[in-house]
Amino acid sequence: MDDRMAFGAYAPSGVTGWVVDRTRLLPDTWTGRRTAFLLRRIASPFMRGVPVDVERLGARMRLHPYNNICERRILFTPQYFDAEELAFLRGRIREDFVFIDGGANVGAYSLFVASQAGPRARVVAVEPQPDIFDRLIYNIQQNPFGTIKAVACALADKTGELTLFLDPRNSGESSVKIVGFNQAPTLRVPGTTLLDLITREGFERVDAAKLDVEGAEDLILEPFFASAPRALYPAVLILANTPSRWQADLTGLVEAQGYRRVGETKSNLIFELA
């Protein structure tokens, strides 16, 4: 990706622009989703591997919708992108909102929260995969919010250098657990616990946290609940809905801390601290 090009240089045009304009207006129905899938396939040969500059979720983003499912969803069908989760967050965001985005990818959640909150908000976007982190930084820089801090590390059960497993079929899918297939390529990356991150940032409270770390959510939250003061428990937790990857009953653990489940989608579980 050539980040020397000013934002807007890759605005969608031609067939790509026509498809993008139509898929983003489709209803959230089986027919709408199926139509979006077919239109994306029509656009693919015309996109030629270049990025696409668009405004989505209240923010400017440069997207690579080729090997990252998250970016493809945001480009073509932002109306489907975690709509229930973002609506729930919107109802709780205030000017000084404190948000932790674990597994930030290219920044969709972080940018959305920053666009809705005021100048005293604090948003920490945590992303360990170097290529994706570069895209995250670029997207943050294209917006005037000034409230997002990007952190290049993995959230895990310990602080220190960790092995990160990658899935070359989906660059947004990386985890400190093996993902995709047994021969996943790896990287060594810095890691930190959730409590260490919160302490280092000097937070006295966390209004919401989203953890989408490809099945490692239990590795993060088990030690956090074992050692963190209750005052630092996020008031809202949005967790990737991947129970088959967890090595513990994470839902039971979260509810045992006083959270109640207030939403469930195909992608995520939403909990609120009672």
For residue 168, the model assigns a pLDDT of: 72
DSSP label at residue 237 = E
Predicted local confidence at residue 179, as pLDDT? 55
Contact 225, 195 (CB under 8 A): no
- Closest among 146, 164, 147, 166 to 155, alpha carbons compared: 164
What is 83-273's CATH number?
A: 3.40.50.150
pLDDT of residue 133: 96
pLDDT by residue, tens only, the chain of 274 residues: 556 789 999 999 999 999 999 999 999 999 999 999 999 999 999 998 899 999 999 999 999 999 899 999 999 999 999 999 999 999 999 999 999 999 999 999 999 999 999 999 999 999 999 999 999 999 999 999 999 999 999 999 999 998 888 877 776 667 676 655 556 788 899 999 999 999 999 999 999 999 999 889 999 999 999 999 999 999 999 999 999 999 999 999 999 999 999 999 999 999 999 8
Return the domain boundaries, the chain: 14-71, 83-273
* CA dihedral sign of residues 57, 62, 65, 69: negative
pLDDT for 41: 93
C-alpha 151/C-alpha 193 separation (Å) is 13
